[in-house]
Chains A and B, each alone.
Chain A
Amino acid sequence: MELGIALTLLATLGWGAGDVFARKAMFNASPTTVLASIIGVSVVSLGTVAFFLEGPSAFRAIDIRFVGLVFIMAALTWVTGNLLYFHAMKRAGVIIAAPILGATPLIAISLAIAFGGERPSSWVLVGAASIILGILILLTDRNRVLR
């Protein structure tokens, strides 16, 4: 459990810093070039981690359903997710785009209510209100992107 939390904190650090470095790179490179390079390095490092953690047989333990679902996931994460996010960072800046993306749990809850028939608790509604208020505050402060 402690290792899991430590690894997630490391991931938080990586994503937070990675967003800013990507934004900096996009001053001189296209979002597509930045994204394609990032995916390439991520695939190699994940492949290496998976090889040592799960062994080579884990790469073959896939079926057609797995391939189909991962393909949909890949399109959602990398094409309509990260590619749009990188374009958003280039236009609105990381200071605006990062917190909006941080509100993804709110969207997940909305989907769970709409399609999963879930009923949110009052604390979830308080959290959702806090996220919406935060985004409204961010949206009314648009003039800080200098370049």
Chain B
Amino acid sequence: MNTKADHQEHNIHITSGIILACLSGFSFALAGFVANALVDNGHPGVIVGFYEGLFGLALVLVVNFRQMRGKSKTPRKAWLWIALAAAGFAMAFGSFYTALSSIDYSVGSTILGAVPMVSYVVALFVLRGTEQITPRALLGATFVVAGVGIIGVAN
């Protein structure tokens, strides 16, 4: 009985994660529209990215101020992964916004369609024993990446 309830709870947890990922994708698409308008107006991509991050940091801290104050200390082990993630994201933002000065956004976003595949390869080593890449997951991700590639080439 407990196992069935646990399984149901597990599914609800994952479904809520899927809904959040969809909402997040919608937000990124809207942000892309605004970014395009700003870069088209002659603002350098790195400056847009810098101010976007600065305002974003302020917003995230304001929105989560109470929650962050009440949190217990983050263990040292987590900080290593946070530092690695931060280095990865910083490299990504810096190089992508710099790249936008020499390539079209449509070309860049098509290449970025391969991000899930990179995640899968890294997850194979880093998340071993925590997340499994099943053949079905790999097939699904391949269809998504192929679809993004087709749309990029068609555009």
Binding site for B on A (CB under 8 A): 1, 3-5, 7-25, 27-30, 32-47, 49-50, 53-54, 58-59, 61-62, 66-67, 69-85, 87-109, 111, 121, 123-124, 126-147
The 9 tightest CB contacts between A and B, nearest first, are: A16-B118, A92-B17, A134-B143, A18-B88, A78-B56, A91-B17, A14-B92, A130-B147, A127-B150
One of A38, A77, A85, A103 near B86 (C-beta < 8 A): A38
- B78 with A25: CB separation less than 8 A: yes
Interface size on B, residues (CB 8 A): 121
User: How would you classify the secondary structure of chain A's contact residues: helix, strand, loop or mixed?
Assistant: helix
The CA of A89 and the CA of B146, in the complex, are separated in Å by 22
Residue of B nearest to A40 (CB): B57
Q: Give the docked Cα–Cα distance between A58 and B46 (Å).
A: 10
Which listed residue, A42, A74, A134, A146, touches B130 by the CB 8 Å rule?
Answer: A146
* Contact (Cβ within 8 A) B74 A29: yes
Tell which of B33, B48, B141 touches A108, judged by Cβ atoms closer than 8 Å: B33
Residues of B within 8 A of A92 (CB): 13-14, 16-18, 20-21
| CB pair B147 A5 closer than 8 Å | no
Question: Which one, B31, B37, B75, B115, contacts A76 given CB within 8 A?
Answer: B31
Please tell me if the beta carbons of A111 and B74 are within 8 angstroms of each other in the complex. no
Of all chain B residues, the one with the shortest Cβ separation from A30 is B71
Query: When the two chains form the complex, which single residue of A7, A37, A94, A111 contacts B119, counting CB atoms closer than 8 Å?
Result: A94
Q: Is the CB of A134 within 8 A of B111?
A: no
* A79 and B63 contact, CB distance less than 8 A: yes
Contact partners of B19 in chain A: CB under 8 A: 88
